[in-house]
Amino acid sequence: MGFNEALQNMALKAVKHVKDSSIVGLGSGSTVAVFVRTLAKHVKEGKMDVKVIPTSLQIKLEAETLGFKLADDTLIPSTDIMFDGADQIDSKFNMIKGGGGALLREKVLIRASKQTVILADESKYVDVLNRAVPIEVLPYARTYVYNELKKMGAEPKIRSLDKGYPFVTENGNLILDTSFGSIKDVAKLEFELKNIAGVMEVGLFSKHANQYYKAKKNGTVEVLTP
Q: Which of 196, 188, 216 is nearest to 129 (CA)?
A: 188
Q: What are the φ and ψ backbone dihedral angles of 218, each rounded to 5 degrees?
A: -80, 5
Cα 105 to chain center, whole Å?
9
Strands 204-205 and 69-70: unpaired
Candidates 45, 62, 64, 106; catalytic one: 106
Residue 155 among the catalytic residues: no
CA 126, CA 163: separation in Å to the nearest integer?
32
Residue 74 CB contacts under 8 Å (≥ 6 apart), including other chains: none
CA 153, CA 193: separation in Å to the nearest integer?
13
Known catalytic residues?
Answer: 106
